[in-house]
Structure 1
Amino acid sequence: MLLQDRTAVVYGGGGNVGGAMARAFARHGATVHLAGRTLAAVRAVADEITEAGGTAWADAVDALDERAVDEHTARVLERSGRLDVSVNVISDQDVQGTPLAEMSPDDYMRPIITSITSKFLTARAAARVMVPRGSGLILYFGGSFDWQAARRFSVGGMGLTFDAVESLRKQLACELGPSGIRVVTLRTSGLPETIPPGFEGRDELVSYLTAETLTGRLASLEEVGELAAFVASDGAALLTGVELDMSAGTSLR
């Protein structure tokens, strides 16, 4: 198994992307600790993993709360004795569909503040555990924003949020690399399974995203999980500081 005897923490593990990654980690042998603000959501994924023969824990954790993140990291160590992978895919609470000229400052800034704060806190907690061991992976999801999309859709603060996280990823990779810690981002060109069925303009958005690929297809949640598992494995030991592109060629310009 790729991740036998490894331990992974997935913040936002009750969501679509977090759940897909958690399931893949567990399939490949890792013990998974799912954290989220809604215990029922992460517990449902943890139960599914356990029923499939994996090992998973579920905890209610606010990734914007410094003390809660640090205390949860301590619990992970108590249970598993190690921390090998830290993933943060909590909701950024962004507002889309509203032009900037009509958007409030709070709605624009919320995803930026939410994402950077939570990703800093969870990365810091992981780094403090990983550095003494000399190994580990901090994994993000999203990648550099495709600003061509903003010509067709109002994306609010999402674009700046994505780019800000990429700056954080690069800085962490530079600082933590000498200690054996890798920092990687997975980039897709959109995941149809994560778009709510009732989202206005859903079909148009999916058609646009698909047409932008070179292969005529978008990534699935299962594929995201499998690639995340590979990046967490020894087979990806040389990957750090990079944005791993799984956009089917969308980013080719």
Structure 2
Amino acid sequence: MFSLKGKKALIVGIANRHSIAYGCAQALKEQGAELAITYLNAKAEPFVRPLAEELGAQIIAPLDVSDHGQIDALFDQITADWGALDILLHSIAYCPMEDLHGRVTDCSRAGFQVAMDISVGSFIHLTRKAEPLMPAGGTCMTVSYFGAEKVVENYNIMGPVKAALESVTKYMAAELGPKNISVHALSPGPLKTRAASGIAHFDALLEQAAERAPTHHLASIEDVGAYAAFLSSDAAQNVTGGVHYIDGGYHIVG
């Protein structure tokens, strides 16, 4: 029904083969996209580089989004090697553990600032850098969670942070729509990823989600990837600004 052949995609957020970003990278590759894949630092590189090489990534580069120099260097390389970008997938979030495990009321100012900068601000920064490389249009995607909309036990400060991410998605979609650049938030149900493992009592959350979802199935990284591939295609060129639930219907059940 659609092809991503010739499209160039930047994937940010792969930590291992269980990462949502990895599922998305796989799906984009299967539909013909060319990939650029980043890894956080030297410690993460041995886990990410082999996956990037398996996927035939043409660009493999370090990216700590708190370092604006690394962001600039990455986009300089993309500009030099490709001259354009069609797809940006942002799948990163971070909060200091002591703030993540505490009440929202008790979140430190420093912890809140870090969580917002890494989880939300970086999506703005990367999209701003991607914009001039998308003169004919493109797709920018981030990853959210239902805890942005409703209070989810133990999700704590990441709920307000993800709510900000979803709001940023809508505002950037409105601003970039005239340039045919769509902006989306993918909202899968709970998935057993490395990032999610930091949430307290996460196994219980997984069980409850499977029970509650109408399909009684948790989403997989392949489910998220399939949706991301569709949104990246020309078939979805008139879709933008949405929070796309990929959760077996979890979000519709009261």
State TM-score, norm by structure 2: 0.86
| Letter in structure 1 aligned against 2:144 | G
* Cross-structure match for 2:12: 11
Distance 1:129 1:166, change over 3 A: same
Structure 1 residue aligned with 2:89, among 74, 78, 87?
Answer: 87
Is the 2:213–2:248 Cα contact (8 Å) retained in structure 1?
yes
CA 1:103/1:184 → structure 2, altered by over 3 Å: closer, same or farther? closer
State the superposition RMSD in angstroms. 2.4
> What is the rounded CA distance, in whole Å, between the counterparts of 1:193 and 1:110 in structure 2?
21
Equivalent residues in 2 for 1:37-116, closer than 5 Å = 37-39=40-42, 41=44, 44-51=47-54, 54-93=56-95, 95=97, 96-116=100-120
Aligned partners of 2:11 and 2:90 also within 8 Å: yes
Tell me the secondary structure at the aligned position of residue 216 of structure 2: coil
Measure the CA separation in 1 of the matches of 2:245 and 2:58.
28
Q: Tell me the alpha carbon deviations over residues 19-63 of structure 1, each in whole angstroms, 9 at most, x when there is no partner.
A: 2212222222111111232256356445335446x3442101222
CA positional deviation for 1:128: 2.2
Secondary structure of the 1:92 match is: coil
Deviation per CA, 1:155-190: give whole Å up to 9, x if none: 232011111111111111111101111111111121
- 1:100 and 1:154 in contact (8 A); partners too: no
Corresponding residue pairs, total: 246
| 2:142 aligned partner | 140
* In 2, Cα distance between equivalents of 1:81 and 1:101: 46
2:3 matched residue in structure 1 = 2
Percent of aligned pairs with the same residue? Answer: 24
Alignment partner of 1:30 is 2:39: no
Deviation at 1:90, TM superposition (A): 1.9
On the 8 A contact 1:26/1:49 being kept in 2, the answer is: no
Q: Is residue 185 of structure 1 aligned with residue 189 of structure 2?
A: no
Aligned equivalents of 1:143, 1:154: Cα separation in 2: 13
Q: Is the 8 A contact 2:184 2:243 kept in 1?
A: yes
Which residue of 121, 124, 129 corresponds with 1:125? 129
Would you say the 8 A contact 1:186–1:244 is kept in 2? yes
Q: CA deviation at 1:134?
A: 2.4
Alpha-carbon distance in structure 2 between the residues aligned to 1:199 and 1:162: 14
Q: Please give the alpha-carbon distance, in whole angstroms, between the structure 2 residues aligned to 1:8 and 1:115.
A: 20
Within 2, Cα distance between the matches of 1:199 and 1:168?
Answer: 24
- 1:27–1:94 CA distance, 2 compared to 1 (3 A): farther
The letter for the 2-side match of 1:111 is A
Q: Bigger CA drift: 42-51 or 28-37?
A: 42-51
Aligned partners of 1:232 and 1:59: how far apart in 2?
22
1-structure distance, mates of 2:104, 2:124: 26
CA distance in 2, matches of 1:106, 1:244: 31
Could you say if the C-alpha distance between residues 5 and 45 of structure 1 is closer, same or farther in structure 2, counting changes exceeding 3 Å? farther
Any gaps of 5 or more consecutive residues in structure 1?
none
Q: 1:49 to 1:67 in 2, by over 3 A?
A: closer
Cα deviation code 1:64-105 (max 9, x no counterpart)? 223321331121122223200011112323543322355433
Q: Which moved more, 1:106-115 or 1:226-235?
A: 106-115
Aligned match of 1:229: 229
User: How far did residue 233 of structure 1 move?
Assistant: 1.1
Instruction: Evaluate the alpha carbon distance shift between residue 50 and residue 104 of structure 1 in structure 2; reply closer, same or farther with a 3 A threshold.
Output: closer
Residue 117 of structure 1: CA displacement?
A: 1.9
Paired amino acid for 1:245: Y
Please, what TM-score do these two structures have when normalized by structure 1? Answer: 0.86
Q: Secondary structure at the match of 2:36?
A: strand
For the 8 Å contact 2:190–2:205, the answer to whether it is kept is: no
Summarize the alignment of residues 166-177 of structure 1 with structure 2, pairs less than 5 Å apart: 166-177=166-177
Name the CA distance, whole Å, in 1 between partners of 2:179 and 2:74: 23
